[in-house]
Amino acid sequence: MRRRDVIAIIGSGRESEPAVTHARELGRLIAENGWVLITGGRDAGVMKAANEGAKEVEGSLTLGILPNREAEISPAVDVAIITDTGEARNNINVLSADVVIACGVEDPGTASEVALALKAEKPVVVLGTSDAAREFFVGIGSGLIHIAESPTIAIAISKQLMDG
Amino acid sequence: MRRRDVIAIIGSGRESEPAVTHARELGRLIAENGWVLITGGRDAGVMKAANEGAKEVEGSLTLGILPNREAEISPAVDVAIITDTGEARNNINVLSADVVIACGVEDPGTASEVALALKAEKPVVVLGTSDAAREFFVGIGSGLIHIAESPTIAIAISKQLMDG
Amino acid sequence: MRRRDVIAIIGSGRESEPAVTHARELGRLIAENGWVLITGGRDAGVMKAANEGAKEVEGSLTLGILPNREAEISPAVDVAIITDTGEARNNINVLSADVVIACGVEDPGTASEVALALKAEKPVVVLGTSDAAREFFVGIGSGLIHIAESPTIAIAISKQLMDG
Amino acid sequence: MRRRDVIAIIGSGRESEPAVTHARELGRLIAENGWVLITGGRDAGVMKAANEGAKEVEGSLTLGILPNREAEISPAVDVAIITDTGEARNNINVLSADVVIACGVEDPGTASEVALALKAEKPVVVLGTSDAAREFFVGIGSGLIHIAESPTIAIAISKQLMDG
């Protein structure tokens, strides 16, 4: 028996591109690698797309870390962890993942999650974000921030980080 | 796609009987029913035994909801959710389960979990507990508390509650 | 400079007697002793009465530990700590108090709070509760549970516990 | 009776300048205005300095929102709220404050707190930070971020925000 490898995909609940397309592709690739997917679990934006991508793959496992009982849960979430801790659940997502992949960090919730990941000394792969976000987080991230140009590259970096 | 059925087993981290034997049997039966097992995730007492029982069954899924990063995780936990919320994680366990099964409630941590389950209006199946605990929780539990005489009966009650 | 002494009053949000009358008297006595009052902060039941009792005394300080932003806050709360952790805030109340006084423990939320206090090894003074509750908590409370017959006695016990 | 006005000062636990000098001055000014000061409560860096500044003023009130029971508490904290929620307590600080003042945001913990404040739609006054941080947070902060050049200006902005 050994514990499963876990990747968190974080990002906004809005339907913004390319974040949502990236998230769907990342979810699929994570599942194909046999990793467990963790997201914020809501039926919206990056969370929804990532879970749907993962569930295209047979045998995938998707865990949603929900803010409270009222949140609408993505039907593509296999197991819903109801935290009732609101935005503080962002800290649970990053603490529970081996690697965190951020699809854009322009959303304050996602920005908080990247910052909490750095505080917890978890590696973060950032995909498709603004120059300002990249400059800020690389500046405070002391080697933990990795910039990826595509979902495939984000997964390749994640694999290296988990094997390392 | 549909969400997985989830049972939480709660109980003390001490190696007390019959709680530990009950927990191991319950874990195995939960896995045989195809349900997901949630526990407090530590490598001790009821949590450890329940996870080990579940992992005797092929295809089982065990989630551990851990208090913090320092806690020793049972090797029989497939995915560790690191909450960093200490005893407040007890609320997450009960909110995330369809049914909660308590192996003894003499431990203050377990007693808090049963009370939080009642507050959240989750059904609780209690196995192997003192008369005082039974009287107290049945008194405040307004129809949510179910007393079981054995792991098999606890599982039968749980199945009815989930089908209901 | 030294940190202030803090007492938590816990109890139901329902308007049940004698709990509410006890809470109001306790709030007043706590303030007269110069102690800080912590409650769950809502504008209901024991919480509301305790805060109102304390604010009858000039110079009193009342802190409310609220479950979320939506909760209605008692106007007698001086400072509202908005936790957004729902019932898990019960753990914050007990961890932040030197002594916890429970006005009745028939409510599941209050029962969880007493249990979390015992888990945290905080002394609990219980006032006006059922025989079943008393028997159960004295049984699991290993010397931390103190039974009081009146608010005045509850305060006398609290003073001893803080001086001890 | 009316609830007290509350300001949170956030910043790193390191002894970095000018953040610590700013924090001490801000703490003093907050107390002189009769506002309650909330900080992370630890005996280090910005938290310690802010509380010490406030306690130079008679009648000041300082609340520390601590990560857990093990954290060393600043002796200048009047009341310690022990959350046992680790970094997730950052969300409690910002939810409980009318205005958040950040002394530098180069620290990941502080960056998470600013982001959580924006998520909660709380105004944030930022003092003495890098160009990258300013550009990033102004970009995602949609009118909630206010840049101050000195503690005096930060307090003037805070006063306007609370009166507004």
The secondary structure of A68-105, three-state, reads CCCCCECCCCCEEEECCCHHHHHHHHHHHCCEEEEECC
Our CA dihedral for B81, B86, B92, B94, rounded to 10 degrees, sits at 120
Helix axes B131-140, B108-119, angle to 10 degrees: 20
**Contact call for A88 and C84, based on CB within 8 A:** yes
Question: What residues of B are in the A interface, CB distance below 8 Å?
Answer: 1-4, 6, 36, 55, 61, 63, 65, 69, 73, 75-85, 88, 91-92, 95-96, 120
**Contact call for A63 and B63, based on CB within 8 A:** yes
- Statement: residue B140 has pLDDT above 90: yes
**Nearest-by-CA chain B residue for D87:** B84
Which residues of chain C, if any, have pLDDT below 70?
Answer: 1
- Statement: residue D103 has pLDDT above 70: yes
Using a CB-CB cut-off of 8 Å, the residues of chain B touching A75 are: 1-3
Mean of the per-residue pLDDT values of chain A: 96
Question: Which pLDDT score is estimated for D142?
Answer: 81
Which CA distances in Å does D156 have to A31, D30, D99, D153, D161?
Answer: 53, 10, 12, 5, 9
**Contact call for A85 and C87, based on CB within 8 A:** no
Q: What ipTM was assigned to the predicted interfaces of this complex?
A: 0.95
**Contact call for A115 and D135, based on CB within 8 A:** no
Give chains near A: 3+ CB pairs under 8 A. B, C, D
Question: Which pLDDT score is estimated for D136?
Answer: 96
Rounded distance, CA D148 to CA A91, Å? 29
3-state secondary structure chain C: CCCCCEEEEEECCCCCCCHHHHHHHHHHHHHHCCCEEEECCECCHHHHHHHHHHHCCCCCCEEEEECCCCCCECCCCCEEEECCCHHHHHHHHHHHCCEEEEECCCCHHHHHHHHHHHHCCCCEEEECCCHHHHHHHHHHCCCCEEEECCHHHHHHHHHHHHHC
Arithmetic mean of pLDDT, B124-139: 94
- Under 8 Å CB pairs connecting chains A and C tally to 15
pLDDT digits 0-9 by tens, A56-74: 999 999 999 999 999 999 9
**Nearest-by-CA chain D residue for A113:** D112
> Which of C35, C72, C77, C83 is the best mutation test for D, with the most CBs of D within 10 A?
C83
Structure token digits, residue C36 = 């800080």
Using a CB-CB cut-off of 8 Å, the residues of chain C touching D1 are: 55, 75-76
Nearest to D82 among C80, C83, C95 (CB): C95
- Statement: residue D1 has pLDDT above 70: no
Question: Which pLDDT score is estimated for A2?
Answer: 81
**Contact call for A133 and D130, based on CB within 8 A:** no
- Under 8 Å CB pairs connecting chains A and D tally to 77
How many other C-beta atoms are found inside a 10 Å radius of the C-beta of residue B9?
32
Mention every residue, 6+ apart, whose C-beta is less than 8 A from residue A39.
A8, A9, A10, A46, A47, A50, A51, A62, A63, A64, A65, A74, A77, A93
B100, β-bridge pairs: B8, B124
Mention every residue, 6+ apart, whose C-beta is less than 8 A from residue B144.
B117, B118, B121, B122, B123, B124
Which is nearest to C80 in space by CA: C111, C47, C104, C57?
Answer: C47
Which CA distances in Å does B48 have to A36, B70, B154?
Answer: 22, 16, 19
**Contact call for B86 and D87, based on CB within 8 A:** no
Terminal Cα distance for chain B, rounded: 21
**Contact call for C79 and D3, based on CB within 8 A:** yes
Mention every residue, 6+ apart, whose C-beta is less than 8 A from residue C116.
B87, B108, B112, C90, C91, C94
Check: pTM over 0.90? Answer yes or no: yes
Arithmetic mean of pLDDT, B55-63: 98
> Which of D89, D94, D107, D136 is the best mutation test for A, with the most CBs of A within 10 A?
D136
Using a CB-CB cut-off of 8 Å, the residues of chain D touching A88 are: 85, 88, 91-92
**Contact call for B36 and A1, based on CB within 8 A:** no
pLDDT band at B37 (very low <50, low <70, confident <90, very high): very high
Question: Which pLDDT score is estimated for C1?
Answer: 63
pLDDT digits 0-9 by tens, B69-92: 999 999 999 999 999 999 999 999
Beta-strand pair B79-82/B62-66: parallel
Question: Which pLDDT score is estimated for A19?
Answer: 96
Rounded distance, CA D91 to CA A89, Å? 10
Burial class for C4, CB neighbours closer than 10 Å (0-12, 13-18, 19+): middle
**Nearest-by-CA chain C residue for B85:** C88
Structure token digits, residue A114 = 């990247």
Which is nearest to A102 in space by CA: A7, A4, A15?
Answer: A7
Q: In what order do the strands lie in the sheet with C99-103?
A: C79-82, C62-66, C36-39, C6-11, C99-103, C124-127, C145-148
Q: Give me the helices (H) in chain A, please.
A: 19-32, 45-55, 89-96, 108-119, 131-140, 151-163
Residue A157 CA from chain centroid, whole number = 14
- Statement: residue A52 has pLDDT above 70: yes
Q: What are phi and psi for residue D133, nearest 5 degrees?
A: -65, -45
Mean of the per-residue pLDDT values of chain B: 96
B158-B160-B163 Cα angle (round to 5): 110
Q: In what order do the strands lie in the sheet with A62-66?
A: A79-82, A62-66, A36-39, A6-11, A99-103, A124-127, A145-148
Question: Which pLDDT score is estimated for A142?
Answer: 82
Using a CB-CB cut-off of 8 Å, the residues of chain B touching D87 are: 84
Asked whether the CA dihedral D109, C41, D71, D20 is positive or negative, the reply is positive
Give chains near C: 3+ CB pairs under 8 A. A, B, D
Using a CB-CB cut-off of 8 Å, the residues of chain B touching D88 are: 84-85
- How many residues in total does chain B contain? 164
Question: Which pLDDT score is estimated for B1?
Answer: 63
